[in-house]
Structure 1
Amino acid sequence: MRVSVRIVHPYAPGFRPAAALFFITRAILAIMLTLNATSMETKAEDVTVPTAEQFTMTASKNGHRYRIFLAKPVLPPPPGGYPVIYVLDGNATFQTAAQALRLQTRPPKGFGPAALVGIGYETDEPFDVDARFRDYTTPANANHLPTRKSGEPWPEIGGADAFLEFIRNDLFPEIDRRIAANPERRTLFGHSLGGFFVLNTFLHDSDAFATYVAGSPSIWWNRNELLGVARNFVGSDPDLTGKRLLIGIGGDELDDMLDGSRAMSSILEPLFKQGLDLRYVEFDGEEHVSVLPAMLSRTVTFSLKPGHEELP
């Protein structure tokens, strides 16, 4: 905007000070109002996920603190309550999963309403690396772990049991208090070390969730110990009626990651006879990080689609 102000010499004929002051003041006010309006029009606001909230919880057993993200459904709960999808690394995964859930539950053709819970940490970063190693891993001999790329020593590890205890004893009751949740329709998603935690939970405490989704799981942890655990689990002839497990990985991931996921899927395949709905998916053209959005979208589909139906 261009504003022109004509200055009249105070000794020029016809100069009237009062009138000049009035016009100058009016011009200044016009400029200020225009600038203020422009500022109001361009003011940025934070982008939020509709119907979502966050709060902090402290684990009753060890005092570890977690940032919890919750997306509540808009529609009333179905009989038995809402299905609830729990995603690990909530700081990084919650918003993507929330939008996938929002799109896939749109009426009239979408799935019925469901809730989403992200389990994260008190950080503004996508991941809390040290906390992930602490919570998602089992105890391991340091000699059985590879050298870290940074050359630094491994952080605290081996807290998977305590973390699952937090989920079972602290988080489940809090979510059930906030929404009408269906305890028979809980899903757990995790990626990388989180995928290891998902599989470890399935193999040691399969009743904790109805559906498990392990994305790019770190089977390599502690010299592939989880493969041996899986063989023993299959040999125990468990009753897995109604249980579902999806293992997914990017088709362009490292060979050892692909080998581990393929081996796990092969070992668990006989569990079909025990009622397990087992799926294995490789996402063509995706690597370890880029596969994450696709895995989150597939998690929603796999969690809410009736059992044993074909997935896209």
Structure 2
Amino acid sequence: MSELEWKTAGIPWTKQLTMTATGSGQAYRIYLAVPPGEAPEAGFPVMYVLDANSVIGTVVEAVRLQGRSRNGQGSPAVVVGLGYDEEIPFATARFTDYSLPMPIDELPPFSRGGEWPRQGGADDFLRFVLEEVRPVVESMVAINRERQAIFGHSLGGLFALHTLYTRPDAFFAYIAGSPSIDWYKRLILAEEQEFVSRLQRGGQPKQLFIGVGEEEETHPTRINEHARGVAERLGVFGDCGLNVSFEQFARENHISVLPVLISRAVRWFLQSV
């Protein structure tokens, strides 16, 4: 038998670069997946994805498969992955970038052992995404600025809610998977109340999708209870342009829920654009 030659298998349509945030000096790995062919007249919708080191391939494949037009050609959305310049699925820096400024003494013991990383970097990270990453993306691809989404899971789900509450103008659609509300409950509920106080009838349409796994019902941080509570409280503001969807996925836990959550969230987003 002749010697076999293996080649690196890449994610279709996807390239990556390393960017260093101006403020923090943190290095990020940014993924950009662009469908082949011409952009729609209004530009491509785009989904920004947190924790890209762990999920970028799954998200791109979901968009590539579900977004095909009837003739089987193309896909209607661009995917921007926001990851870290290292090889592990979940970098420690996410505990800074996705978190609210909760005092360390109000948090439980750090799940990875040792001291908690610095808290409260969510606003700095959001500025990096909106003011540094987004201009690079828009310089390379024709983007529909009115149809952009952000997807986050766990601590990333908390970040998605924080972004909705504090910068509702930043995206059209917000996807919060299994959001880590309990650790930051005091702060995120205060942000929710302030957000609700600003809602007005006939406001600009916004979409919120919240998804959890059925087996997270027994999670010590009461993920499902908190997530369902958000959906119920915000779900009454449809006349203010806020459309809320909640879904619980059977027999899935905090990590196993990711593929089905991504598939459902991509379908939900593509149908909304």
Question: Shorter-chain-normalised TM-score: which range?
Answer: over 0.9
Name the structure 2 match of 1:195.
157
SS of the residue corresponding to residue 252 of structure 1 reads helix
Alignment of 1:142-153 (within 5 A): 142-153=104-115
SS of the residue corresponding to residue 303 of structure 1 reads helix
Q: Match for 1:299 among 265, 268, 271?
A: 265
C-alpha change, 1:228 and 1:267, in structure 2 (3 Å) is farther
Name the structure 2 match of 1:216.
178
TM-score when scaled to structure 1? Answer: 0.82
Greater per-residue helix proportion: 1
Tell me whether 1:179 sits opposite 2:145 in the alignment.
Answer: no
Name the structure 1 match of 2:230.
264
C-alpha change, 1:133 and 1:66, in structure 2 (3 Å) is same
Name the structure 2 match of 1:54.
16
Alignment of 1:22-33 (within 5 A): none
- Structure 1 range deviating more: 51-60 or 160-169: 51-60
Deviation of 1:229 after TM superposition, in Å, equals 2.2
Tell me whether 1:289 sits opposite 2:252 in the alignment.
Answer: no
TM-score when scaled to structure 2? Answer: 0.93
Tell me whether 1:133 sits opposite 2:99 in the alignment.
Answer: no
User: Is residue 51–residue 74 contact of structure 1 (8 Å, CA) maintained in 2?
Assistant: yes
Provide the C-alpha distance between the structure 2 equivalents of 1:95 and 1:285, rounded to a whole number of angstroms.
23
Alignment of 1:14-93 (within 5 A): 38-39=2-3, 42-93=4-55
Q: Match for 2:87 among 109, 120, 124?
A: 124
**Unaligned stretches of 5+ in structure 1?**
1-34, 308-312
- Find runs of 4+ consecutive structure 1 residues off by over 6 angstroms: none
User: Is residue 33–residue 60 contact of structure 2 (8 Å, CA) maintained in 1?
Assistant: yes
User: Is residue 235–residue 243 contact of structure 2 (8 Å, CA) maintained in 1?
Assistant: no
Tell me whether 1:245 sits opposite 2:208 in the alignment.
Answer: yes
C-alpha change, 1:121 and 1:150, in structure 2 (3 Å) is closer
Name the structure 1 match of 2:116.
154
Instruction: Write the deviation string for residues 53-110 of structure 1: whole angstroms up to 9, x where unpaired.
Output: 0001111222221100111111211111000111000111100001101101223167
Structure number with larger C-alpha Rg: 1
Provide the C-alpha distance between the structure 2 equivalents of 1:174 and 1:162, rounded to a whole number of angstroms.
18
Instruction: Write the deviation string for residues 142-173 of structure 1: whole angstroms up to 9, x where unpaired.
Output: 22111124441101221000000001100110
Provide the C-alpha distance between the structure 2 equivalents of 1:259 and 1:108, rounded to a whole number of angstroms.
39
User: Is residue 76–residue 270 contact of structure 2 (8 Å, CA) maintained in 1?
Assistant: no
RMSD of equivalent CA atoms: 1.7
Percent identity, aligned pairs only, is 39
- Structure 1 range deviating more: 57-66 or 204-213: 57-66
User: Is residue 67–residue 270 contact of structure 2 (8 Å, CA) maintained in 1?
Assistant: no
C-alpha change, 1:227 and 1:74, in structure 2 (3 Å) is same
Name the structure 2 match of 1:19.
none
SS of the residue corresponding to residue 173 of structure 1 reads helix
